[in-house]
Amino acid sequence: NAGVTQTPKFRILKIGQSMTLQCTQDMNHNYMYWYRQDPGMGLKLIYYSVGAGITDKGEVPNGYNVSRSTTEDFPLRLELAAPSQTSVYFCASSYADRDYGYTFGSGTRLTVV
Amino acid sequence: GQQLNQSPQSMFIQEGEDVSMNCTSSSIFNTWLWYKQDPGEGPVLLIALYKAGELTSNGRLTAQFGITRKDSFLNISASIPSDVGIYFCAGPATYTGNQFYFGTGTSLTVIP
């Protein structure tokens, strides 16, 4: 059982470049999330989705976009990369009852230079 | 957004010692979760708490839901090298969509 799979694991981008971070889950979870993790700052929610075709902004959405065309996939798009987007990005998914917590992917470490 | 404050920020302990850490919030929570993040991996759920005063164990880990509902505590007994990692608390956000706020993390180093 793969759980939540993120690709790539590492990436270096130049300022102004764009890229898509991929996330897929095989647990049939309706809810999916993108978080970023900066040193000493915990995890901040970027975007989330409560089901296919439905997405909404989290705490720190600026500079990012998402789509949710299927239950399994929730890609995160960076259009014009900036140094402030250097971070570790985690995708997560959960059942509708959030008391069960999230299942996280292993993360994408992104550096913008 | 909501800030969950964890303390201590980091700990260096000898193998076999017990560990205590806590998490505080300015808001009341109905659920507290504790996660562990191994180096280079995503966080993994350790313990979930659903009621004020609740004490729940998972092996050598014990977590408590504070009576005030604004804090939670995690204890690790007889630490071992594989306990190394970052421990996060999490509490539910008040806006919709199942989101959680995460604490700033406690980094644990166990010295063999």
Phi, then psi, of B46 in degrees rounded to 5: -100, -55
pLDDT digits (tens, 9 = 90+) for B77-109: 999 999 999 999 998 876 555 678 899 999 999
3-state secondary structure of B86: strand
List the helix and strand counts (H, then E) for chain A. 0, 11
Question: Among A25-29, A92-96, B36-40, B95-99, which stretch is predicted with the lowest mean pLDDT?
Answer: B95-99
Give me the total of CB pairs closer than 8 Å, taking one residue from chain A and one from chain B. 67
Contact: A4, B42; criterion CB under 8 Å = yes
Report whether pLDDT(A49) > 80: yes
Contact across the interface for B48 and A100, Cβ inside 8 Å: yes
Residue to substitute from A44, A46, A98, A109, interface B, most B β-carbons within 10 A: A98
Burial class, A44, CB count within 10 angstroms (exposed 0-12 / middle 13-18 / buried 19+)? middle
Interatomic CA distance for residues A95 and B82, integer angstroms: 29
Question: Which of A74, A102, A103, A108 is the best mutation test for B, with the most CBs of B within 10 A?
Answer: A102
Chain B residue whose CA is closest to A34: B99
Interface touch A42/B105, C-beta < 8 Å: yes
> A76: how many CB neighbours lie within 10 A of its CB?
21
Q: How far apart are CA B27 and CA B2, in angstroms?
A: 8
Tell me what percent of the residues of chain A surpass a pLDDT of 90.
Answer: 83
Which pLDDT score is estimated for A62?
96
> Residues in chain A whose beta carbon is closer than 8 A to a beta carbon of chain B?
4, 31, 33, 35, 40-45, 48, 50, 56, 58-59, 90, 92, 94, 96, 98-107
pLDDT tens-place string over residues A3-37: 999 999 999 999 999 999 999 999 999 999 999 99
pLDDT of residue A23: 98
Question: Span A61-77, mean pLDDT?
Answer: 97
Q: Which two tokens stand for residue B97?
A: 């969509």
Q: Which residue from B40, B41, B98 is facing A31, i.e. has the nearest CB?
A: B98
d(CA B69, CA B62): 17
Query: To 10 degrees, the CA torsion angle through B50, A35, A95, B66?
Result: 0
CB B12 within 8 A of CB B109: yes
* pLDDT at residue number B98: 66
Which of B1, B48, B102 has its CB closest to that of A99? B48
- Give the nearest partner residue to B42 out of A58, A96, A105, using CB atoms: A105
Q: What are the Cα distances from residue B105, in Å, to A48, A52, A84, B33, B93?
A: 22, 32, 21, 13, 17
Give the CB-side neighbour count of residue A19, counting CA atoms within 13 A.
Answer: 22
The mean pLDDT of A73-90, rounded to a whole number, is 96
| pLDDT score, position A42 | 83
Residue range B11-38: average pLDDT? 94
Residue A16 distance to chain B (closest CA, Å): 27
pLDDT at B32: 93
Residue A85 per-residue DSSP state: G
d(CA B95, CA B93): 6
Under the banding of pLDDT at 50, 70 and 90, the label for residue A98 is low
Contact, B104 vs A41, CB < 8 A?
yes
